[in-house]
Amino acid sequence: MATIPIADVLASERMPVDAQDIVTRVRLVIVGTWGGTRDPDGLRTRYGPAAGFEYVTHFAVPLVYEYEAPEHATYQCERSFQLPEGFNPFLPPDDAGISDPTAIDMSDAAFARDGDPLTYSESTSFGQTRLRYSIGPNALVAGLKLRYALTYSGSIPELNRSTTSFGYHLVPESDPEDVRVVANQRYVLAATESIDQPEDVVVYALPDARGESVNFGEPLLDRWRVLTVDVIGTSGNEHVLRVHEFYPLVLNEACWRMSRGRTFGCRQRTPPASRSGGT
C-alpha cells in the first residue's frame, strides 16, 4: 500500500464520519405520554392566569433523562432512545427520598410505601378516607403506583372513589399565586371482588407542554404534583378501603447520574408496561 509522508501533505480537510453507535449526548425517554395500565376516566387541563382559566387539550411533556459527555462540544453526536426493557427507572417505594403519605382516617399510612405488597393501610371511618402526597417543586414524577382493595354497601358516586394526579405550575417571578397550568387526571376506583383480592393501577401522568418555561419570560416555572386516593362514604354507604401500595413514580436521578450514560440506569424490578405508549 502506498503511503504519503506527513511532510508532503499540502492540506487536510475534516470529513464526516458515519458512526451510528457513537453518542456524546443521549436523551433517554423514560415515559413518552400519559398512560399506564388504564386510561383516565377524567382528564381536564386548564390554562391561563388564575383569574382567566380556559380548558384546553392536554399535550403531555415526555419525561426524559439527558446526559452530555465532555466530547459533545467537538463531535455533536446526539441521539434519543427509549428505555430498554428490564430496567425500572424509578425510586423504590421505601426510598428515603419518598415520604409517607398524609392520611385522613387511614391507619398505618407508612405501609402504603414499605415495599411489601401484603401490608396495607386501612380505612378507619365510614366517611372520607384519603392518602395524599404533595410533591415539588420540579420533582421528576412520572405518575403513581396503586394497589388497593375496596368494598362498599349501597352506592358511592364515581367522583367519591378515585385516585387522582393533580399537577400545577406557578410563575414565581410575576406572582407567587399565579397558577398558569392545571392538569387533573382522575381514575375511578371500582369495587374489587373482595377485600382480600386487591387490584393494581399504574398511572403515567405527565405535565402539559404549556407549562414549560420556554413559553414564558420567567427563567423557570415551579411544578408541583398532588397525588391522592380518596373514598367518600355517607350514612348508608359504608366502605372498607385497603391500600397495599401507593407511592409516586419518582425518577431515580442519582442512579442515572452514576451510570454516566453508559448502562442506562440501574437494574431493578421491571416496571409495568405502558398500554398507552408510555415506556
- 141-168 tens-digit pLDDT: 999 999 999 999 888 999 999 999 999 8
Is 127 domain-assigned?
yes
CA distance 1 to 244: 72
Is 251 domain-assigned?
yes
- Please give the tally of structural domains in the chain: 1
Question: Of the ranges 10-14, 40-44, 71-75, 244-248, which one carries the lowest mean pLDDT score?
Answer: 10-14
| pLDDT score for 88 | 86
Task: Return the percentage of the chain with pLDDT > 70, whole number.
Answer: 84
Is 16 domain-assigned?
no
| pLDDT score for 44 | 93
Is 200 domain-assigned?
yes
Asked whether the predicted pLDDT for residue 208 surpasses 80, the reply is yes
CA distance 207 to 68: 24
Asked whether the predicted pLDDT for residue 2 surpasses 70, the reply is no
CA distance 4 to 267: 50
pLDDT in tens, 89-136: 899 999 998 999 999 999 999 999 999 999 999 999 989 999 999 998
Helix (H, G, I), strand (E, B) or coil at 67: strand
- Which residues form the domain of 87? 25-259
Question: Grid coordinates in use for 179?
Answer: 397558577
Is 170 domain-assigned?
yes
| pLDDT score for 257 | 53
Is 3 domain-assigned?
no
| pLDDT score for 108 | 96
Q: What's the mean pLDDT in 189-195?
A: 96
Asked whether the predicted pLDDT for residue 191 surpasses 90, the reply is yes
Is 275 domain-assigned?
no
φ/ψ of residue 142, rounded to 5: -90, -20
Is 12 domain-assigned?
no
Top mean-pLDDT range of 21-30, 63-72, 197-206, 270-279: 197-206
Q: What are the C-alpha distances in Å from 216 to residues 44, 66, 151, 221, 268?
A: 22, 22, 47, 9, 38
| pLDDT score for 260 | 43
Q: Which residue has the higher pLDDT, 236 or 125?
A: 125
Residue 267: band (very low, low, confident or very high) from pLDDT cuts 50, 70, 90: very low
Contacts of 237 (CB under 8 A, 6+ apart): 126, 152, 153, 154, 155, 156
Q: Which residue has the higher pLDDT, 83 or 193?
A: 193
Classify residue 122 by burial, with Cβ atoms within 10 Å: 0-12, 13-18, 19+. middle
pLDDT, averaged across the chain? 83
DSSP, res 95: -
Asked whether the predicted pLDDT for residue 277 surpasses 60, the reply is no
